């Protein structure tokens, strides 16, 4: 089902997520597939929709920084310093996951990627849906990420429980992904935030970037 943006759509999306469904929505970058990060059946549905092999982690976006504690095992001084500089923003940070995090999110890595979006509308949508949603790109595996609701429909037709049309994507790049789960920071993906910007942040903290 395709619906327009607004409070009614948020309420519908919250109901879909609560009963284990999958919604497509505009994130702070592309359109994403949103589901309850703790519902393993919903996570399996995302893999099926995308035609994606299991064994690849699924990132999560949160509405408020306080919800981070539901996902990561500890907040290091480095983690706090990086989030203070780049959150809210298009930086997904990988950290050591809490033991109860579903393996579908972590792909057996014992780590999880989390982002606090800068876009206030996206944060409000996620907050309406419980405060945390998966945000893997809304596309078939190997295809370009969906830039709008029409792209989502072309990929999935009616197999997604709800598509919320919030206009075109705000970015042509994905979030940058920085792994802080080990002693040495590692940039997994360069996206909206350039490598050199992240390097500068880490160098100011006395750390190199791999």
| Domain-wise residue ranges, the chain | 2-204
- Are the C-beta atoms of residues 136 and 59 closer than 8 Å to each other? yes
**pTM exceeding 0.75:** yes
Regions of the chain with pLDDT less than 50: none
CA 131-31-86 angle, to 5 degrees, is: 60
The CATH H-level (homologous superfamily) assignment of domain 2-204 is DHBP synthase (3.90.870.10)
What per-residue confidence (pLDDT) applies to 53?
65
């Amino acid at each position: 089902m395709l619906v327009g943006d607004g409070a009614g759509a948020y309420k519908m999306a919250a109901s879909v997520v609560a009963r284990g469904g999958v919604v497509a929505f505009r994130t702070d970058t592309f359109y994403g597939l949103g589901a309850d990060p703790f519902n393993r059946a919903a996570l399996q549905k995302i893999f099926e929709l995308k035609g994606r092999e299991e064994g690849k982690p699924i990132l999560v976006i949160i509405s408020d920084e306080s919800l981070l504690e539901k996902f990561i095992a500890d907040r290091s001084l480095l983690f706090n310093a990086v989030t203070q500089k780049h959150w809210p923003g298009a930086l997904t940070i990988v950290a050591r996951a809490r033991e109860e995090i579903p393996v579908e999110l972590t792909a057996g890595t014992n780590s999880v990627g989390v982002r606090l979006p800068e876009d206030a509308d996206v944060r409000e949508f996620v907050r309406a849906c419980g405060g945390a949603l998966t945000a893997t790109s809304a596309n078939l595996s190997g295809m370009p990420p969906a830039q709008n609701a029409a792209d989502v429909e072309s990929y999935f037709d009616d197999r997604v429980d709800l598509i919320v049309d919030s206009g075109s994507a705000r970015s042509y790049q994905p979030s940058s992904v920085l792994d802080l789960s080990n002693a040495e920071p590692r940039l997994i993906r360069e996206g909206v935030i350039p490598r050199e910007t992240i390097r500068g942040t880490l160098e100011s903290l006395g750390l190199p970037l791999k």
